[in-house]
């Protein structure tokens, strides 16, 4: 058996793939946080809850309506995103001119409500979601399930699609301009409030999409959101919220580092992201890709 | 300390109520309120007067609970020394985390505190001495200074009241000192405070350490009262609860956190049998307060008194 640094190769590669998958979740979630923060200047604490909602809507579609994964992949983000639009229109909208921390506290409250309701109805053990693409590839040194390849490819498509829309299209130019100076952009006749609403809806839909994708590899549990969101916050502090590409790269990189930590320093696998955050804060306080505003 | 006679009267009345309370209400519940009132006041020192929103105050509360539980139960330290050790460790932790946090501003700072608190949660979850899910228990209630027997809940209540008054008095003094004035100046206009020559980071850091240390005293006392230190004390839910208490009472008001702590502890006591719904109710309170009552109960009361005096004046 091949051994690298005293670790069997299959184990190492297996954790690397797992790390990439976690990194895919981190990347999509921190991307959503960055997009929302750019327009709304609100840290969406409900992001984890909306990720959980995405997974649950997919699970409900499968077990109550018999709609399979591919339907859920499209419909669940739409449903949860529409919920996000309502939340923005009815509540968040009125907080933009207040201190930024109120947006954080409001979305935190929403996350508590969502988690509490789902814990009441579904317990905290979690539901199983069937793998939509069973089977895998034998690579000789390891077995690579098809679904894991799908996750990584899908995440790359989503991330770079979003990056392309924001950085390379006219709509994206409006968005970036509205982030810089909303008043001026409004003066040009662009409906900035609508843009803000749609941005929030899109960010929430991204979180839900990450939830749907994660459903077959994780237990669909009410706790899945609050668990991942704090790590994603650390990712966002490391990468900075100003750069779309920064959020994507940092997300994937930290997933992989976490995977490697499971092999080489297992006792630190839960905390390695936070240690890296501390080091980055010491060496480059503005974050790897950010500049202090 | 109190300038006008009306305030002295109110203060004495409150003290009289606090002294007589265990005759009417279950002392353990009262002690819980006092603990969380101290915790929320310490938190409010940071949020209300330095403008720093920490989403990780559970790490100070919980670490101190573990430290006092460990020193009293396993190392056999006297109770008062165990509580002080908890506060000291929390202050040291506050120094380290605070020094890292203040390198960023605003919302980032909040996320950093949350992240470090989560890291500590994992550390305590896997550390061998914490007893994992069961927690560290039972912590013996050893006599204070070797003579005050605190195995009786009523006696312990007066000890906790003394700890609370000492902590609260310190916070009151800090807020009304020149140091507190500078903190408020930084909160309201940081660039201006810098241009006036204040070392802003130093002030923020001292406030952070004070807040952490006092939160630690609250957590350590909690471990003595319930004879238990557990993962709940370091969980992010605890950080959320202390924010909620402060928000309910009124951010930046001195007595607000006391009201908020009493309200939330009372509510949890009423809803204890409803399990997950406590979470839902807390979330709904958060959402409602942020939307319509950002100044909390104290803000509502000052609005009311202004309204009443306006009504009187118009007559």
Instruction: Note whether residue B112 is domain-resident.
Output: yes
pLDDT at B289 over 80: yes
User: B61 or A135, which is more confident?
Assistant: B61
Q: Chain A: nearest CA to B62, how far in angstroms?
A: 18
Residue B8 domain-assigned? Answer: no
CA of B276, closest CA in chain A: separation in Å? 5
The confidence band for A216, taking pLDDT boundaries of 50, 70 and 90, is: very high
pLDDT in the model for residue A292: 53
Which tens digit of pLDDT belongs to each residue from B126-170? 888 888 778 888 888 888 887 888 888 889 999 999 999 999 999
Find, in chain A, the residue whose alpha carbon is nearest to that of B243.
A105
**Segment A120-140 mean pLDDT:** 85
Average pLDDT of the residues of chain B: 91
pLDDT value at position A152? 92
Please check whether residue A198 is in contact with residue A111, taking contact to mean a CB–CB distance below 8 angstroms: no
Per the document, the length of chain B is: 315
Give A-chain residues touching B240 at CB under 8 angstroms.
108, 112
Tens-digit pLDDT profile for residues B34-81:
999 999 999 999 999 999 999 999 999 999 999 999 999 999 899 999
Does B9 fall in a domain? no
Q: Look at A91 and B111 and tell me if their CB atoms are within 8 Å.
A: no
Taking the C-alpha atoms of residue A190 and residue A171, their distance in angstroms, rounded to an integer, is 11
H-assigned helices in chain B: 5-20, 27-50, 58-73, 79-101, 106-126, 153-175, 178-188, 190-195, 200-226, 236-249, 256-271, 277-292, 296-314
Inter-chain residue contact B279 with A274, CB threshold 8 Å: no
Closest Cα in chain A to B285:
A109
In chain A, where the domains are located: 3-130+153-283
Measured in degrees and rounded to the nearest 5, phi and psi for residue B310 equal -65, -40
Which residues in A lie closer than 8 A to residue B277 (C-beta atoms)? Answer: 116, 120
Mean pLDDT of A50-75: 94
Question: Do B111 and A43 count as a contact with CB atoms less than 8 A apart?
Answer: yes
A158-171 pLDDT, tens digit each: 999 999 999 899 99
Q: Is B271 part of the contact surface with chain A (CB cutoff 8 Å)?
A: no
| Cβ-based neighbours of A268, under 8 Å, separated by 6 or more | A261, A275
- Identify from B125, B236, B286, B295 which residue to disrupt to test chain A contact, counting A C-beta atoms within 10 A and taking the largest count: B286
Give the chain B residue nearest A121 (alpha carbons). B276
Instruction: Give residue-wise pLDDT tens across range A73-86.
Output: 999 999 999 999 99
Structurally, chain B folds into a number of domains equal to 1
User: Does A293 score more than 80 pLDDT?
Assistant: no
With tokens 């996750």, the residue in question is A151
Which chain A positions have a beta carbon within 8 Å of B116's beta carbon? 274, 278
Size of interface A-B (CB pairs under 8 A): 117
- Identify the residue whose tokens are 């915790």: B39
Mean pLDDT of all residues belonging to chain A: 89
Is B207 a domain residue? yes
CA-based nearest distance B76→chain A, Å:
30
Q: Is the C-alpha dihedral spanning A44, B109, A293, B175 positive or negative? A: positive
Identify which has the larger pLDDT, B192 or A14.
B192
Distance CA B274, CA B279 (A): 10
Nearest to A104 among B110, B119, B275 (CB): B110
Residue with tokens 């699970």: A59
pLDDT at A289: 82
Other CB atoms within a 10 A radius of the CB of residue B315 amount to 4
**Could you tell me which CATH number the domain at A3-130+153-283 has?**
1.10.3470
Contact A230 B236 (CB under 8 A): yes
Interval A101-125 mean pLDDT? 91
Cβ contacts (< 8 Å) between B118 and chain A: which residues? Answer: 230-231, 234, 274
| Domain coverage including residue B131 | 25-314
Instruction: List the one residue out of B26, B45, B3 whose CA is nearest residue B257.
Output: B45
Å between A17 CA and nearest CA of chain B: 23
Whether the predicted pLDDT of A1 surpasses 70: no
Average pLDDT over residues A221-239: 90
When CB atoms are compared, the residue of A108, A270, A278 closest to B240 is A108
Among candidates A98, A119, A285 on the partner chain, residue whose Cβ is nearest the Cβ of B103: A285
User: CA–CA separation, B102 vs A281, rounded Å?
Assistant: 10
Chain A residues closer than 8 Å to B296 by CB: none
Q: How far is B13 from chain A (nearest CA, A)?
A: 35
B283 and A116 in contact by Cβ < 8 A? yes
Mean pLDDT of A31-39: 90
Residue B294 maps to a domain: yes
Closest CB to B126: pick one of A231, A267, A285.
A267
Test the B interface: residue of A94, A97, A101 with most B CBs within 10 Å: A101
Band of the pLDDT at A284, cuts 50, 70, 90? Answer: confident
Judged against a pLDDT cut of 90, whether residue B7 lies above it is answered with: no
pLDDT in tens, B290-311: 999 888 888 888 888 888 888 8
When pLDDT is cut at 50, 70 and 90, the band that residue B32 belongs to is very high
Which of B296, B268, B297, B290 is CA-nearest to residue B281? B268
């Amino acid at each position: 058996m091949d051994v690298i640094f005293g670790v069997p190769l299959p184990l190492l590669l297996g954790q690397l793939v797992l790390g990439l998958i976690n990194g895919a979740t981190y990347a999509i979630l921190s991307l959503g946080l960055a997009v929302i923060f750019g327009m709304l200047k609100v840290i969406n604490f409900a992001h984890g809850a909306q990720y959980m909602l995405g997974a649950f809507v997919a699970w409900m579609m499968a077990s109550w309506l018999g709609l399979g994964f591919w339907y859920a992949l499209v419909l669940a983000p739409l449903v949860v995103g529409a919920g996000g639009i309502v939340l923005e229109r009815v509540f968040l909208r009125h907080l933009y001119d207040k201190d930024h921390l109120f947006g954080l506290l409001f979305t935190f409250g929403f996350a508590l409500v969502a988690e509490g309701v789902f814990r009441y109805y579904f317990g905290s053990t979690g539901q199983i979601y069937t793998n939509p693409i069973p089977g895998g590839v034998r690579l000789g040194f390891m077995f690579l399930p098809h679904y894991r390849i799908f996750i990584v490819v899908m995440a790359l498509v989503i991330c770079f699609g979003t990056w392309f829309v924001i950085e390379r299209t006219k709509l994206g130019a409006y968005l970036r301009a509205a982030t810089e100076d909303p008043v001026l952009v409004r003066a040009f006749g662009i409906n900035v409030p609508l843009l803000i609403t749609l941005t929030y809806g899109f960010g929430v839909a991204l979180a839900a999409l990450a939830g749907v994708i994660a459903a077959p590899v994780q237990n669909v549990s009410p706790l899945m959101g609050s668990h991942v969101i704090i790590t994603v916050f650390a990712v966002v502090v490391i990468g900075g919220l100003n750069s779309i590409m920064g959020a994507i790269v940092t997300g994937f990189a930290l997933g992989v580092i976490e995977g490697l930590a499971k092999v080489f320093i297992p006792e630190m696998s839960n905390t390695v992201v936070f240690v890296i955050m501390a080091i980055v804060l010491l060496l480059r306080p503005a974050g790897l890709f950010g500049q202090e505003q | 300390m109190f300038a006008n006679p009306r305030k002295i009267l109110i203060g004495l009345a409150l003290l009289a109520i606090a002294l007589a309370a265990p005759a009417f209400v279950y002392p353990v519940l009262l002690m819980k309120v006092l603990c969380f009132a101290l915790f929320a006041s310490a938190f409010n020192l940071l949020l209300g007067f330095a403008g720093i929103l920490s989403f990780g105050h559970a790490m100070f509360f919980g670490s101190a609970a573990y430290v006092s539980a460990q020193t009293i139960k396993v190392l056999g330290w006297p109770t008062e020394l165990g509580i002080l050790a908890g506060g000291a460790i929390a202050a040291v932790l506050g120094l380290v985390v605070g020094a890292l946090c203040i390198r960023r501003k605003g919302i980032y700072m909040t996320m950093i505190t949350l992240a470090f608190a989560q890291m500590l949660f994992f550390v305590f979850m896997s550390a061998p001495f914490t007893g994992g899910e069961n927690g560290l228990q039972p912590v013996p209630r050893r006599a204070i200074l070797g003579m005050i027997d605190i195995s009786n809940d009523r006696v312990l209540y007066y000890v906790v009241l003394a700890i609370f008054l000492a902590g609260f008095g310190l916070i009151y003094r800090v807020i009304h000192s020149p140091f507190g004035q500078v903190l408020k100046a930084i909160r309201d206009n940081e660039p201006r405070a810098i241009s006036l020559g204040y070392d802003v980071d130093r002030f923020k850091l001292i406030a952070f350490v004070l807040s952490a240390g006092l939160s630690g005293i609250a957590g350590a006392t909690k471990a003595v009262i319930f004879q238990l230190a557990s993962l709940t004390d370091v969980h992010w839910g605890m950080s959320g609860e202390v924010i909620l208490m402060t928000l309910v009472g009124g951010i930046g008001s001195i007595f607000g956190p006391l009201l908020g702590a009493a309200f939330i502890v009372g509510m949890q006591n009423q809803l204890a049998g409803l399990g997950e719904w406590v979470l839902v109710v807390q979330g709904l309170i958060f959402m409602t307060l942020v939307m319509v009552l950002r100044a909390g109960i104290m803000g509502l009361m000052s609005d009311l008194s202004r309204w009443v005096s306006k009504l009187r004046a118009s007559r």
